[in-house]
Structure 1
Amino acid sequence: MEGVEWQSDLAREVVAVNIIDSWLLSLSGKRPLPTLVDASTQNTIRLTTDHYRVTDWDALASILAEQPDVEGDRGSGWVRFVEMGGEKRRARATLTAKGADALEVFCRTLELADESRKWLERLARTALKFRVREIADPRSPKVLEAAARSCGRKAPAPVPDDVLRGFMTDLYGNWADTPIPALGDKTPRQAVGTEQGRRAVIDLLRSYEHAELRRVRDQGGAPFDLGFLWEQLGLDRGR
């Protein structure tokens, strides 16, 4: 801050604003979620759904009924499992009928999905035909929102820009005529009467604008324009 002593009240306030802003961002900022690993296979969890068109439901149901590691039926769906010992089982794939001619096969990892596809196509032969595969990261916003809906909760909505603008307008509405300790308990309008006070007010305004740019960078949304504060005080924003 050119022309401002580091031990001055203004310097302390600007530094305090930046420290508080950084601290708040560290608490509220987005952190990357950890990679999720399947406990039984040690493979990365990648939710995989294979879509098939079924040409012969009776043949498919008969084939699945003969498999010792498959339980279920068309109405409730099938589960392919692996014995874990001690009467415990773990699902390898779930097969769900969708509509008149569609089947979805879900696996929790890509490796399980590849193995299940080979297994199913080898058994079913012409009773079904592969269509497409969908892969989802369990950490993605889409999956997290779907999980929230399944629990009866809605993902928090971002604050609308118009609401934020209203709040910021109220916050800074009387700023030009409010005594500020960093300006020697003068109002910004009073402080701009001297060259030193003018520089101090400009530095303070720029610190506010930098904080707003960081907010937009880290949280998204539209930046709040503080240009009206410059205009109220007759200051040139470009200098």
Structure 2
Amino acid sequence: MDDAQGTVGLDPLDKDALLRASGPMFTNMWLLDCLGKAIPGSSPDMVNADGDDLVFHRIVFPLAKGVIGKSVVRRLNAAQWLEPASDTFWNWLAPVTKKRTPGTTKGGQAFVTTMEDGTPVFANVELAGRKLIVEVNSAARAEQAIAQMSEWLGDCVSTPMTEIRTLAQFMADDAARAPQEEPLDIPPNEMERIVHQMLTREYTKTLDEAVPALGHKTPRALARTKAGRPKVADWLKYIENGAAKSGPGDPMATYDFTWMWDQLGLIDLRR
């Protein structure tokens, strides 16, 4: 769920549509990444960067009577930690802390969303008509978001309503909704380039991160040992085979993992 920055050949007005339509694809990419870091055959517990269980909250603040959208936009643009992605969409950033270590907290696999510079994303904020929508991934974040929005916006918004979904419900809703979505008019080769670029960025970081399936060692470090080489090779095959099963027309199915085998010095074990 990163961003659509760096794309070429697209009308800038389509950026919001690209972000919305790419949601299920990026979610699937994240799940493949998490499962690839887990022990094959297992289903890791999912937590967010704070170590809280993943429970998706969609908080809807109706605009108060007489309040216009421009007033809300001005306040949000002035708010600390809100970074505009468009005229009506903001990434709510969070300061980097040493409170917990993503990926190992509570024995679960962490779902960590960051900007390109590594800054964690706390929530997404969108102004849709006369509703301000805040999306977070835990109950604790929902409480904090409601309190902070009340401070930033005061009487510009009314009492919020909250929709709560578990990870299983979130994935089921995405699967049910996907066929009804209008296809985005992006050339297949351009979408493939965007997805491959994101995968390369994420897997480059993964090579130097502790992986549960590898005894919480980094792939790069373990690949330097005689005993670790076959373990890392099996891990790479697991990820590669998972991507290959994405299905015809899915950009993930055409991603070339050769560079990872080369970087880890394991090309002789690829077969």
Q: TM over 0.5, yes or no?
A: no
* Superposition TM-score tier, normalisation by shorter sequence: 0.3 to 0.5
TM-score by length of 2: 0.39
Higher strand share: 1
Larger radius of gyration: 1
